[in-house]
Amino acid sequence: MSARQALIVVDVQPDFMPGGALACDHGDEIIPALDRLLRARVMAHVVATQDWHPPGHVSFASSHPGQQPFAQIDLYGHAQTLWPDHCVQGTAGAALHPAIDWAALDAVIRKGTDPLVDSYSGFRENHAADGRRPSTGLAGWLRERGVEEVFVCGLAREVCVLWTAQDARQLGFRTSVVWDLTRPVTATTDQATRQTLAAHGIGCIDSGELRAA
């Protein structure tokens, strides 16, 4: 265990599980191994992100009359996917997954709380109307603790995990994705996700490598 390393667990919430409002492909399969990893306390620092949307969030298709889930619109000059209503604040679907022992957590970063701005990355919100990507505070939290390297896992592989890993790398952290502890919304995106990670200098590892370190 190194004090300079942190595990970032992205959006492991019931709404992203099979049967949930925005299900990831086999998303529930990561739960047992992730629970074992957290119980093993192999990371000095563990942070979870949590999608935490107010009702009527701008990313919900239901907030745009005539639009259907997964449609694309322009929002503040950038492409925005419209999602089914999900992870609404205070609902059971928005909770951290109850089948995981979260005692190892040091912090929870709630994102997507602004009704007018979507949020994929654990580090920065999506583009706002003024063109900025507001910080969630995660980078500062990690730097205050001397963290230099992060390992990213969770849901969804090609959206929030990918954006979190890209931002981590851009912000100066050595970054790896724990591939077996992620799942995509759509499995056909995996090749493109791997290519994007590689292009940004982000490695893919197996959770067994963390336990063996």
Q: Respond yes or no: is residue 51 known to be catalytic.
A: no
Query: pLDDT category, 210, cuts 50, 70, 90?
Result: confident
Select which of 111, 118, 153, 167 is catalytic: 111
Select which of 11, 15, 51, 118 is catalytic: 11
Write the pLDDT tens digit of every residue in 35-83: 999 999 999 999 999 999 999 999 999 999 999 999 999 999 999 999 9
Q: How many Å apart are CA 84 and CA 97, to the nearest integer?
A: 19
Q: What percent of the chain has pLDDT over 90?
A: 96
Coil, strand or helix: which one is 21? coil
pLDDT at 1 over 80: no
Taken in order of first residue, the domains within the chain and their CATH numbers are 5-56+89-212 (3.40.50.850)
CA distances from 140 to 82, 146, 152 (A): 30, 10, 17
Coil, strand or helix: which one is 79? strand
Q: Respond yes or no: is residue 11 known to be catalytic.
A: yes
**DSSP secondary-structure letter at 136?**
-
Write the pLDDT tens digit of every residue in 164-173: 999 999 999 9
Query: pLDDT category, 211, cuts 50, 70, 90?
Result: confident
pLDDT at 212 over 70: no
- Mean pLDDT calculated for residue range 135-141: 97
Higher pLDDT, 2 or 105: 105
Select which of 24, 28, 160, 167 is catalytic: 160
Write the pLDDT tens digit of every residue in 24-45: 999 999 999 999 999 999 999 9
Q: What are phi and psi of 111, to 5 degrees?
A: -130, 160
Write the pLDDT tens digit of every residue in 144-193: 999 999 999 999 999 999 999 999 999 999 999 999 999 999 989 999 99
* Closest among 70, 169, 61, 179 to 121, alpha carbons compared: 169
- What is the crossing angle of helices 190-199 and 162-170, to 10°? 0
pLDDT at 213 over 60: no
Q: Respond yes or no: is residue 28 known to be catalytic.
A: no
